[in-house]
Homo-oligomer: A and B are copies of this chain.
Amino acid sequence: MGAVERTAGDEGGPWAEVGPDAARRLLIAAVDAFAERGYHATTTRDIAGRAGMSPAALYIHYRTKEELLHRISRIGHEKALEILRAAADRPGSAAERLADAVRSFVRWHAAQTTTARVVQYELDALGGEARAEIMALRRRTDAVIRDLIEDGARGGEFDVHDVEGTTLAVLSLCVDVARWFNAAGRRTPDEVGALYADLVLRMVGAKG
């Protein structure tokens, strides 16, 4: 499952940009270890071992376990934001762009469940500046969906009672795909994406 998961959804996986090779292998090992045992139960020794390296080799690339989590979280959040933005910036009606954004966002969460779970559930382990940086990325992600919903509501395409609350619910629905999605299950990421795009258009009261 690991290999499929890492390459589906975006070309080369979310870690393609991480270099050198040893740094990338350590990051992937950390994602797997955090997902399996939790951040607090994982040691840098565990991570190095999974990557077939010594603890000393790990410290060449990452000073601490928190730096690994921060790096994973930043890359995960940046990818998610990039995917949403690409959909939102395409030409089309608010409904088309919102449906497209939801489809892409859902596909990404379905294809990267392990990474998405680590990123979402271990957020509390980040402190100080690392946390502030991630929270800023999350606010930018939220804003993409909110702006799309606002656009549609202002233009009369949507009928929304509570833009802020509907934005929260749409994002929550998409993010939670990472919790329940099972690559061996009945639905493909594309099918879940299509289903959710339809449900979200209903949530915003899209006309037509």
Q: What is the interface of chain A, defined by CB distance below 8 A to chain B?
A: 37-41, 117, 120-121, 161-162, 165-166, 168-169, 172-173, 175-177, 179-180, 187, 192, 195-196, 198-199, 202-203, 205
Known A165-B187, A169-B195, A173-B172; contact A179-B120, beta-carbon cutoff 8 A? yes
Q: B162, A195: Cβ atoms under 8 Å?
A: yes
Q: A161, B198: Cβ atoms under 8 Å?
A: yes
Residues of chain B within 8 A (CB-CB) of A202 are 202-203, 205
For the complex, give the distance between the alpha carbons of A198 and B204 in Å.
11
Among all A-B residue pairs, the 8 with the closest Cβ atoms: A38-B38, A40-B41, A41-B41, A176-B176, A37-B40, A165-B195, A172-B176, A202-B202
Residues of chain B within 8 A (CB-CB) of A179 are 120-121, 172, 175-176
For the complex, give the distance between the alpha carbons of A120 and B192 in Å.
21
Residues of chain B within 8 A (CB-CB) of A199 are 166, 169, 203
